[in-house]
Amino acid sequence: MTGLPGIVITGVSGRMGQMLLQAVAESDAAHLVGAIERPGHDWVGQDVGTATGAAPLGVVVTDDPLEAFAKAQAVIDFTSPAATVEFAALAAQARAVHVIGTTGLTPEDLTKIDAAALHAVIVRAGNMSLGVNLLVGLTRKVAAALGEDFDIEVIEAHHRHKVDAPSGTALMLGQAAAEGRGVDLATASERGRDGITGAREPGHIGFAAIRGGDIVGEHDVLFAGPGERMILRHVATDRQIFARGALRAALWGQDKAPGHYSMADVLGLD
Ligand code: NAD
């Protein structure tokens, strides 16, 4: 037993789950108390260290989130929208901080997450890296400074396994651009052009998604005006940036009042 906050990692066998295991193991401010995988996964019932091919960690992977969350001060969750909505209610019951990295959440999912945030701290961000959260602030500022004769396009690239598009980060950047420009992203965005699309709508924010290989995550915000253009760019080369950001959010949330927070709150950027 330690006095450090106990962390549960959901989706522990996933790309981000394994990054989180490493981040928690390297931290001297938190320790691992639980690891969750979906029912039927072959890691369930195994020691999580052994399952990764390393030394045992003394934590057995379970498919019972309620039991695991009861022992936790924070749950770090990079899974799927359906799982995350279920975990939000259970983490709130356990009064554990819920850090949500899962993307592709629908407005209905977000309503359920808001309901859970009445009872517990939830930190949710489509991207947990410091650099991207700074880029969001810059995008808002540049969009506010430039008029409608600068077209804004968000271009993102990710690995071939990613299942949602545009990425959660692209949507964060689009939302920041919309706020800067004073428009509603829901009605002023253009996604996935193909065929005879007609000319670009002035003032709209465009999105384009590239998928391939093992690209960790790249985002450009292009401001294209008459005779000049600017590009704000973030390139992630290592998923550890997301895991370290998520762990920082879990620790930050320990003494906060219930609510639905963002990474900008954690990083003190707003
Ligand atoms: P992945 O497919 O490698 O991992 C997802 C894991 O979740 C899998 O191991 C899967 O078995 C598990 N899972 C699914 N349903 C579950 C359930 N009901 N209970 C327990 N485990 C369950 O995916 P990934 O690349 O690790 O990404 C996961 C999510 O995180 C995606 O939505 C991705 O877009 C997002 N992501 C966010 C950030 C960020 O900074 N916010 C960064 C990277 C990835």
Give the Cα separation of 215 and 199 in Å (integer). 31
Q: Would you call 147 helix, strand, or coil by DSSP?
A: coil
10-44 per-position pLDDT tens digit: 999 999 999 999 999 999 999 999 999 999 999 99
E strands, 162-270, are: 189-191, 205-211, 217-225, 228-236, 259-261
| Residue percentage of the chain with pLDDT more than 70 | 99
Q: Is 126 in the pocket of ligand 1 (CB under 6 A)?
A: yes
The preferred substitution site among 12, 16, 219 for testing ligand 1, maximizing ligand atoms within 8 Å of CB, is 16
At residue 205, the pLDDT reads: 97
Any idea what DSSP says for residue 194? Answer: -
The preferred substitution site among 21, 42, 79, 162 for testing ligand 1, maximizing ligand atoms within 8 Å of CB, is 79
At residue 1, the pLDDT reads: 53
Average pLDDT over residues 178-187: 96
159 an active-site residue?
Answer: no
Mean pLDDT, the chain, as a whole number?
96
- Which atom of ligand 1 is found nearest the CA of 159? 25
162 an active-site residue?
Answer: yes
Average pLDDT over residues 95-109: 96
Any idea what DSSP says for residue 201? Answer: P
Question: How many angstroms separate the first and last alpha carbons of the chain?
Answer: 37
Give the Cα separation of 116 and 112 in Å (integer). 6
32-76 per-position pLDDT tens digit: 999 999 999 999 999 999 999 999 999 999 999 999 999 999 999
At residue 3, the pLDDT reads: 83
For atom 34 of ligand 1, which residue has the closest CA? 103
Average pLDDT over residues 169-179: 96
Q: Is 11 in the pocket of ligand 1 (CB under 6 A)?
A: yes
For atom 1 of ligand 1, which residue has the closest CA? 14
Q: Which two tokens stand for residue 253?
A: 């949330």
Q: Are 202 and 148 in contact (CB under 8 A)?
A: yes
